[in-house]
Chain A
Amino acid sequence: MCTLAHSLENAGIATVVISLIRMHSDIIRPPRALFVPFELGRPLGDPRDTDGQKAVLRAALGLLENPGPGPVFGAFEGRDRTTPTTVQPLPRADLDFQAEISDILSLYHRAFVSKGRTTFGNSGLTPKDCCAQFTELARQNGKFTGRYSGKHLRFLIDDLKTIYFEAACYQQPPLASASLHNWFWQGTRAGAVLTEMRADFLKSDNKSLKLVANFIVPGEWVDTLNL
């Protein structure tokens, strides 16, 4: 990111970087950077915090009015305001995977209708077909037929997580990432199926499955769950 800023500025276009990793900015020394205290993945701060997002933008873009010389660095003092909360459990606590995924799909559709936006779609499937394909994979119980390419599996799994997270956010206040990830990886059957699938893929002789295994469980949760 900071390297791209050097290139654009050399082309005569003024830049300002929102910086999540100060260590990198201190080394690369882009023309202007605003250090923000937010977690990776949330460079503008909390979702639906319109005022907070604008405050970040004002602080960042305001650096463009500093006459220099560069680098001109600033620090944004705001902080995450979303409070970790417990995501509401599913209506039934004794769901098997098939029942859980069915309930989640129903919630996901309600969320989509309510919001008019979904981030589902990289698999090229419908949400229903995504769930069906994933359920079929789970039933193979470690003996994968190789019907799907590694790339398809990667995006199938991404889209499945999207269905779960969008369902969990339905009619909720803005949720902290920790709340959603705790719920998904420790409180859902899908999380358990994915951790088992990762282990199976890692043991597989299929190089493509071994590669996909690295894109199933985030590193933080590989450590947390002692996988």
Chain B
Amino acid sequence: MAHLKDIPPRVRASIEKLACATYDSTPFTTGGPLRQRRVAILSTAGLHRRGDTRFKLSATDYRIIPAETTPADLLMSHVSINYDRTGYIQDLNTVFPLERLKDMQSHGEIGAVADRHYAFMGATDPAGMSDEIAQVAGMMKADRVDAVLLVPV
């Protein structure tokens, strides 16, 4: 349904007028085969552990989600109500496929699931997140992450 023509007009209008960053070039980091990669998820669904601070309007900060976090321990405090949440309500993997990544690890399709995963609140302009994403990159390197799956909502 995420073809623009299928998105309700009010939401489509805000998507179409969203200012996007442009770049002169695209960086490209290569690596080994997927079966040797250590994969982390970075979500912009405003997810956090139960008891963590909720995301605020225009939040640029992030929450760390340890790999051992269960679906029952996660909540969503994304500011927008203009996307479907009933998929997430029925199955966390619809927005945060940690269990599916663990399945892939157990079948040798990826090397490992990272120890830590990350969530931002996607309604915020990412231009204001440069310090935070640098921190996240540092933690990913410390965790030997060499592949990141970025999942919007």
A, B from the same assembly: yes
Q: Which residues of chain A have a CB within 8 Å of any CB of chain B?
A: 1-24, 27-31, 36-48, 50, 53-54, 56-58, 60-62, 64-65, 67-71, 80, 116-119, 121-122, 155, 158, 161-162, 165-166, 169, 174-175, 177, 180-181, 215-220, 222-223
Instruction: Write the nearest CB–CB distance from A45 to chain B, whole angstroms.
Output: 7
Taking a contact as CB atoms under 8 Å apart, the answer to whether B97 and A57 are in contact is: yes
Extra 20 A-B pairs, beta carbons < 8 Å, given A21-B15, A122-B54, A165-B86 = A1-B152, A8-B148, A22-B2, A39-B84, A41-B87, A41-B88, A41-B95, A42-B87, A43-B151, A46-B87, A46-B94, A47-B86, A61-B149, A174-B90, A215-B79, A219-B8, A219-B10, A219-B14, A220-B82, A222-B10
Q: Across the interface, which residues of B come within 8 angstroms of A46, CB to CB?
A: 87, 94
Most buried by A among B72, B89, B101, B127: B89
Closest to A11 in B: B137
Can you identify 9 A-B contacts, CB atoms within 8 angstroms?
A: A13-B137, A14-B31, A16-B149, A30-B26, A39-B2, A40-B7, A57-B101, A65-B33, A119-B85
Q: Determine if B94 and A43 form an interchain contact, defined as CB atoms under 8 angstroms apart.
A: yes
Shortest distance from the beta carbon of A120 to any chain B beta carbon, whole Å: 8
> Which 9 A/B pairs are nearest by Cβ-Cβ distance?
A41-B84, A47-B91, A39-B1, A47-B90, A219-B10, A41-B83, A220-B8, A40-B83, A11-B137
**Bound CA–CA A117/B10 (angstroms):** 33
Asked whether A29 lies within 8 Å of B30 as measured between CB atoms, the reply is no
A220 x B10 contact (CB < 8 A): yes
Contacts of A1 in B (CB 8 A): 44, 122, 126, 150, 152
A44 touching B10 in the complex, CB below 8 Å, given contacts A13-B145, A169-B89: no
Report whether A29 and B23 are in contact in the complex, using a CB–CB cutoff of 8 Å.
yes
Residues of chain B within 8 A of A19, CB atoms compared: 152
- Kindly list chain A residues whose C-beta atoms are within 8 Å of the C-beta of B23: 6, 28-29
CB distance from B145 to the nearest CB of A (A): 6
Q: A50 vs B54: C-alpha distance in the bound complex, in angstroms?
A: 29
Residue of B34, B89, B141, B151 near A11 (CB, 8 A) is: B141
B81 touches A37 (CB 8 A): no
A7 touches B130 (CB 8 A): yes
> Which A-chain residue is minimally distant from B145 (CB atoms)?
A13
In the bound assembly, the distance between CA atoms of A227 and B32 in angstroms comes to: 54
Cβ of A53: which chain B residues have Cβ within 8 Å of it? 93-94, 97, 100
Contact B88 A218 (CB under 8 A): no
A199 to B90, CA, bound (A): 30
* Proximity string of chain B (6-35) to chain A, C-beta cutoff 8 Å, 1 when within and 0 when not: 111111001110101111001111110110
Residues of A within 8 A of B120 (CB): 4
Partner of B28, one of A21, A70, A216: A70
| Contact of A31 with B26 at beta-carbon distance under 8 Å, contacts A17-B150, A41-B87 already known | yes
Is there an interface contact between A181 and B86, defined as CB atoms closer than 8 Å? yes
Is B146 interfacial (CB-CB < 8 Å)?
yes
Residue from A29, A54, A117, A121 within 8 A of B26 (CB atoms): A29
Nearest-neighbour CB distance to chain B for A25, whole angstroms, equals 9
- Bound together, the chains give a CA A128 to CA B101 distance in angstroms of 36
Is A5 touching B28 in the complex (CB atoms < 8 A)?
A: no
CB distance from B73 to the nearest CB of A (A): 9
Query: Which partner residue on chain B sits nearest A221 by CB separation?
Result: B8
Smallest CB gap from A119: residue in B: B89
Instruction: Decide: A14 near B147, CB < 8 A? Known: A46-B87, A64-B34.
Output: yes
- In the assembled complex, the Cα of A43 lies from the Cα of B120 at a distance in Å of 15
Q: Does B76 contact A (CB under 8 A)?
A: yes
